[in-house]
Chain A
């Protein structure tokens, strides 16, 4: 273990970081002390940390991701504060680099991805009438690998130094030559660990959706959210291995002196950009497709009509999936690949607008002549359409290779992708949380606070990012920590900063809503409070651990709607109850996550021997798992009967809600 510079381990000398270090320490002491005081360790361990229940894993994903949203959001606000006035001295150039890098990585990989994967986890098995995902224990492993990667990345700024080469981490800047400190190792290794978790999730969902659907649910009777999540999972399986390989090559370049991307050794720096975007572009469609599915469910439910153009929706998402693999060069037209390459990729890029447009029209037609209910989830869905169209149209502008030379690397681009990703993913996630909250927790989020949340967030969002289009057109470059008075950028930057404060208030309203509703919301609600259409609403809220006492049989699209209309399949006779086979909890996934964190940490610090020793734990985990003959357990009929009787008799049950 030579060459450890102990004095460089903890970052010192910056008051902001010192403050964070103290805050982190105090929070950790607070959490550990609190759990010990309340004697909740055993409960935490057996109910949550070792769970293999897809709903609980989903909820853990969502909690972790909302915390990451908080962290990434603070980063965003810090950047907005720094650029609020010309020549501000709040963050210096280096610190600004670190902040936009961690902001980008955390928002995309540790906020957006896990939030969507969390929602997919909770909802997909319910929508297809299954009792769990195909590989429940593997599912827990996915979560713990994501968590391990996220934590590793998050400690970087207090221990060892934050990565600072942008969320794209382009070579040559990201290589040892120009970034000699260990900071960028965090990027390579934390993303690798989390990426493996995501890849496993993708495989798990593909198998779940193909193999676990309940009787009668053919592919063409699947709810749209399940469809879009399925296609997103297929893209995960296609694209994430590219990231795995690219990060592995980056790791060997940085740690072991290879020259895949290192120019001085004859490597190709642009090969990194090429591989990064071969993964990176499909990645944005992995994010947007499940979100499209969420909107489809919400438009159908609150227009009280089935989704318009179901088949053309599926055609569009498959087309988007294929096209998403062949557009990656639009991220580096300015590399100068020549007119043939740039033209072809301009055409493929603009072609994606066609299936996306089809989807927008389908949503509009779904609402046409519907009896629309203006609930909070519906508001998010409605706001999504105009905002996302602005993002899409500016995307087509950027997609034209020749024009992109003007916009490239300006705040115009930054405004564009925030206009796609925030309405596309963040609005969708908020809509989904309001919509499915009662399914997850058995009470609803407050609608009135929800509307405050909605208006503050949407107005704040537009005021923050709309000015950035014009700043970009005026020549303000991205990733620049300051600007001069003479540039004339000051008024728009100030406006944008004010917008971000309103945005933050919106997020605060959301947090307050969770707090308020957890304390005061009515617990005696129907299991189908929105009068919805798909199978997840046909069972209890919160959902019992085995999901369905009797797996429903499906004959149409929107099966639950038709069950309610025909008053069929809603009751459960005692004679229909059978024992249910469930998987047992396991401590192995969290153990694996911990070992991966430790090994990853050593690798970041280039303590190779220690890393190898820790990696033995990974092998040990695999061996233990392969000798694990636990077959799960059976839920007895009496217990099922008891659990079912708790919700089937309550007043305001499914049966009364049919209009």
Chain B
């Protein structure tokens, strides 16, 4: 607690500003542009992933505390598994002569 009370919470402010930019950016692109549906989905999808990263590191104290390293490792492990299983399956099943 004490550590949080002292000093200016710079990382929180930066995180907050970035979150706002990303959120309004996504809303703006979805509502105010004439891009095709596919392009919009790709852009706001990427923004969402960046948003999730910022939340994890700036607000959810991912690297703090004695388990900081473990947490980062666990997240990387989870991401690796998800990419292998989901992206891998889609790639394997949708390429080749069947399609």
- Which residues of chain A from 325 to 360 have a CB within 8 Å of any chain B CB? 325-326, 329, 335-338, 340-341
- Is A433 at the interface (CB under 8 A from chain B)? no
Q: Which residues of B contact A338 (CB under 8 A)?
A: 95-97
Considering the chains assembled together, what is the distance between the CA atoms of A341 and B92 in angstroms? 6
A274 contacts B89, CB within 8 Å? yes
B84 contacts A341, CB within 8 Å? no
- Is A242 at the interface (CB under 8 A from chain B)? yes
Q: Which residues of B contact A274 (CB under 8 A)?
A: 89, 92-93
Considering the chains assembled together, what is the distance between the CA atoms of A548 and B30 in angstroms? 65
A340 contacts B93, CB within 8 Å? no
Residue of B77, B84, B85, B95 near A337 (CB, 8 A) is B95
Considering the chains assembled together, what is the distance between the CA atoms of A278 and B87 in angstroms? 12
Considering the chains assembled together, what is the distance between the CA atoms of A337 and B92 in angstroms? 6
B89 contacts A275, CB within 8 Å? yes
Considering the chains assembled together, what is the distance between the CA atoms of A325 and B85 in angstroms? 9
Give 1 or 0 for each of A273-292: 1 = CB within 8 Å of chain B CB.
Answer: 01100100000000000000
Residue of B80, B81, B88, B97 near A336 (CB, 8 A) is B97
| Whole-angstrom distance between the Cβ of B39 and the nearest chain A Cβ | 25
Which of B85, B89, B97 neighbours the largest number of chain A CB atoms within 10 Å of its CB? B85
A245: nearest residue on chain B (CB-CB)? B85
- Is A387 at the interface (CB under 8 A from chain B)? no
B91: nearest residue on chain A (CB-CB)? A341
Residue of B80, B91, B93, B95 near A268 (CB, 8 A) is B93
Residue of B80, B85, B93 near A270 (CB, 8 A) is B93
Knowing A238-B81, A325-B81, A326-B88 touch, does A271 contact B96 (C-beta < 8 A)? no
Chain A contact residues (Cβ within 8 angstroms of B): what range? 10 to 19
Give 1 or 0 for each of A31-75: 1 = CB within 8 Å of chain B CB.
Answer: 000000000000000000000000000000000000000000000
B98 contacts A278, CB within 8 Å? no
- Which residues of chain A from 314 to 328 have a CB within 8 Å of any chain B CB? 325-326
Q: Which residues of A contact B92 (CB under 8 A)?
A: 274, 329, 337, 341
A337 contacts B96, CB within 8 Å? yes
A275: nearest residue on chain B (CB-CB)? B89
Q: Which residues of A contact B85 (CB under 8 A)?
A: 242, 278
A335: nearest residue on chain B (CB-CB)? B96
Instruction: Give how many B residues have a beta carbon under 8 Å from the other chain's beta carbons.
Output: 14
Which of B89, B91, B92 neighbours the largest number of chain A CB atoms within 10 Å of its CB? B92
Q: Which residues of A contact B95 (CB under 8 A)?
A: 337-338, 340-341
Considering the chains assembled together, what is the distance between the CA atoms of A278 and B91 in angstroms? 13
B93 contacts A271, CB within 8 Å? yes
Considering the chains assembled together, what is the distance between the CA atoms of A14 and B98 in angstroms? 43
| Whole-angstrom distance between the Cβ of A600 and the nearest chain B Cβ | 26
A271 contacts B89, CB within 8 Å? yes
- Which residues of chain B from 55 to 99 have a CB within 8 Å of any chain A CB? 77, 80-81, 84-85, 88-89, 91-93, 95-98
Considering the chains assembled together, what is the distance between the CA atoms of A399 and B88 in angstroms? 18
Q: Which residues of A contact B98 (CB under 8 A)?
A: 336
Considering the chains assembled together, what is the distance between the CA atoms of A340 and B88 in angstroms? 13
A278: nearest residue on chain B (CB-CB)? B85
Considering the chains assembled together, what is the distance between the CA atoms of A326 and B92 in angstroms? 12
A234: nearest residue on chain B (CB-CB)? B77
| Whole-angstrom distance between the Cβ of B69 and the nearest chain A Cβ | 13
Considering the chains assembled together, what is the distance between the CA atoms of A335 and B89 in angstroms? 13
A270: nearest residue on chain B (CB-CB)? B93
B96 contacts A336, CB within 8 Å? yes
Considering the chains assembled together, what is the distance between the CA atoms of A271 and B85 in angstroms? 12
Give 1 or 0 for each of A560-582: 1 = CB within 8 Å of chain B CB.
Answer: 00000000000000000000000
| Whole-angstrom distance between the Cβ of A269 and the nearest chain B Cβ | 11
A338: nearest residue on chain B (CB-CB)? B96
Considering the chains assembled together, what is the distance between the CA atoms of A329 and B96 in angstroms? 13
| Whole-angstrom distance between the Cβ of A296 and the nearest chain B Cβ | 25
B81: nearest residue on chain A (CB-CB)? A238
Q: Which residues of B contact A242 (CB under 8 A)?
A: 85
Considering the chains assembled together, what is the distance between the CA atoms of A270 and B84 in angstroms? 17
Q: Which residues of B contact A268 (CB under 8 A)?
A: 93
| Whole-angstrom distance between the Cβ of A240 and the nearest chain B Cβ | 12
A238: nearest residue on chain B (CB-CB)? B81
Considering the chains assembled together, what is the distance between the CA atoms of A404 and B93 in angstroms? 19
Q: Which residues of B contact A335 (CB under 8 A)?
A: 96
Considering the chains assembled together, what is the distance between the CA atoms of A242 and B80 in angstroms? 14
Considering the chains assembled together, what is the distance between the CA atoms of A556 and B7 in angstroms? 45
Q: Which residues of A contact B97 (CB under 8 A)?
A: 336, 338
A278 contacts B96, CB within 8 Å? no
A268: nearest residue on chain B (CB-CB)? B93
A279: nearest residue on chain B (CB-CB)? B85
Q: Which residues of B contact A336 (CB under 8 A)?
A: 96-98
| Whole-angstrom distance between the Cβ of A581 and the nearest chain B Cβ | 25
Q: Which residues of B contact A337 (CB under 8 A)?
A: 92-93, 95-96
Considering the chains assembled together, what is the distance between the CA atoms of A326 and B77 in angstroms? 14
Considering the chains assembled together, what is the distance between the CA atoms of A340 and B80 in angstroms? 21
Considering the chains assembled together, what is the distance between the CA atoms of A329 and B92 in angstroms? 8
A-B contact pairs, 6 of them (CB 8 A): A270-B93, A275-B89, A325-B80, A337-B93, A337-B95, A341-B96
Supplied contacts A278-B85, A336-B97, A341-B96, 14 more A-B pairs, CB within 8 Å: A238-B81, A271-B89, A271-B93, A274-B89, A274-B92, A275-B89, A278-B84, A325-B80, A325-B84, A326-B84, A336-B96, A337-B92, A337-B95, A341-B95
